[in-house]
Amino acid sequence: MSPHQEQKKQQREGGLGGQGETPRHWIMGKEAFQAKMPHHEGIKALWETKWKFPCTKSLYPFHDGLYEDFAPSFDALIAANLNDMTSPEWTRTFLSTGIAEKLISQADALVAKHDQLAAAHGGQRTSTGSKLREQASSLYLRACCIYRIARFPYITSHGGKINDEEKWKAWEKQKEAYLKAGQLWDQPLQEVNVPFINRKVEQGEGEHIPVYVRLRHSGWEPSYDAQGKWEREWASDGGHGCGPGVPVVILMTGLDGYRPDNTVRCNEFLARGWAVVVVEIPGTADCPTDPADPESCDRLWTSLLTWMDEYRVRDGDDELRVFNMNKVMVWGLSAGGYYAVRIAHTHKRQLAGVVAQGAGVHYFYDEEWLGRVDGHEYPATLTPAFAMKHGYNSVEEFKAGVQQKFSLLENGILDKPSTRLLLINGTQDGLMPIEDSMMLMEYGSPKEARFFTGALHMGYPLANSAVYPWMESILGSTRRNY
């Protein structure tokens, strides 16, 4: 054994799993680890024990939606005893009600009414017009929520190969409705196809990285009202494009929540004076990378950061820098937490800080853990989606090979220095074990963490109370109301 290998062996001995091996006892406890939660018994159990309550409160995964939009579909699913969320029949059940289309038609009518009113007032905004915009946006977002549940729990399209045509149709409809909603906001939504300049064509990687961008002023072009003037002075050095730009958050999405599923979180960023770039992670939705290549994400982030550094908007004869590249923050959610931890090490000099929430980086890939995770709190069977997300053809291949290939401990990433890294999770997380966040303290640079005792995946509902103040301490905050 070489001196370097011996040193690494000594560093890893005494860790949670002894050199990253399976822990003797999972922190969540033997009973919770071995349990199969009631909602896995079928659609009736899922609705009655797990999803009905959040649906009545418009909580994940029903955020932006209303109970009345979903009750007919779940009644139909229960009556048919349709228990497979991954089936085309699941998707068709939600689309067949026609509720989403009706909501969009109602929203379109409100937008037309708004446009007529605006024309009558010479383009000036009115309180009535603002209410019409808000009402239309709400209806579009309700439709988006229906499409979200219809395409649950997972979609992918690497190399042009779509895993489920029915769910993909729902995904396209969701994006279409979301863009309609986004054009009505004071800080409108822009969809940008970022050039994937570091892609590997031979691995089937796409040409572009689709992202959503929102800025805190009312559009791409700086305006000359009070708010717009303030934005220009803050973001520029007088119009030469060399000013700092605005702080920006790169939001890395998860296994089932994608770009159109983060409205509230994006609004929180805007309220603090930050821009946001929302991007999907490898192996999910529209992400163009090769999911079977652990290093594909590094090429993805390099391309994205290059575009952000070069991006400008025109103001007359001037070009203004958009993003302050000294104040770039990353927040990775759930499966996105893995990529947040990785980018904190691989691109540390380009990032002011990283939040990894609910991250699984090594122990999540343990065969013993994967053997039980399907019975935990996730609403569907988890391992088939994760196998496909990582480029495997079967769950068996995934369980047998994924840790050696993707673990950030096994591939040496965790031994590298990192930027500031905040780890957030619940101690009872049954998807990504809390051990994964704790073990990060044993490697590389010192880390920061907040764990919530007794909380499940991602540490909700209290997690945000720790995340936003930490982000503000690095990026600053204007605390403006929008």
DSSP for residue 153: S
With beta carbons less than 8 A apart as the criterion, state whether 312 and 319 touch: yes
CA–CA distances in Å: residue 397 to residues 157, 335, 400:
20, 19, 5
With beta carbons less than 8 A apart as the criterion, state whether 340 and 356 touch: yes
- Rounded Cα distance between 269 and 331, Å, is 11
Burial category of 238 from C-beta neighbours within 10 Å (exposed 0-12, middle 13-18, buried 19 and up) = exposed
**pLDDT per position as a tens digit, 138-191:** 999 999 999 999 999 999 998 778 999 999 999 999 999 999 999 999 999 999
Per-residue pLDDT band for 18 (boundaries 50, 70, 90) equals low
Per-residue pLDDT band for 34 (boundaries 50, 70, 90) equals very high
DSSP string covering 290-358, please? -TT-TTHHHHHHHHHHHHHHH-EEEETTEEEE-EEEEEEEEEEETHHHHHHHHHHHHTGGG-SEEEEES
- Rounded Cα distance between 343 and 332, Å, is 10
Per-residue pLDDT band for 242 (boundaries 50, 70, 90) equals very low
Q: Where are the domains of the chain?
A: 1-35+187-482, 39-184
Greatest distance between any 2 Cα atoms in the chain: 81
Tell which residue, 368, 406, 414, 409, has the closest CA to residue 387.
Answer: 406
**pLDDT per position as a tens digit, 299-335:** 999 999 999 999 998 878 888 899 999 999 999 999 9
Mean pLDDT, range 60-78, rounded to an integer: 97
- Rounded Cα distance between 341 and 356, Å, is 6
Per-residue pLDDT band for 16 (boundaries 50, 70, 90) equals low
Homologous superfamily in CATH for domain 1-35+187-482: Alpha/Beta hydrolase fold, catalytic domain (3.40.50.1820)
Sign of CA dihedral 140, 142, 145, 149: negative
pLDDT at 131: 96
- Does the structure show a pLDDT above 70 at 275? yes
With beta carbons less than 8 A apart as the criterion, state whether 388 and 418 touch: no
With beta carbons less than 8 A apart as the criterion, state whether 365 and 17 touch: no
**pLDDT per position as a tens digit, 355-397:** 999 999 999 999 999 999 999 999 999 999 999 999 999 999 9
- Rounded Cα distance between 191 and 180, Å, is 11
Placement of tokens 């009556």 in the chain: 79
Which sequence positions are flagged as catalytic? Answer: 334, 429, 457
Task: Provide the token pair at 57.
Answer: 């409160």
Give the pairing type, strands 246-252 and 275-279: parallel
Q: What residues form DSSP beta bridges with 208? A: 195
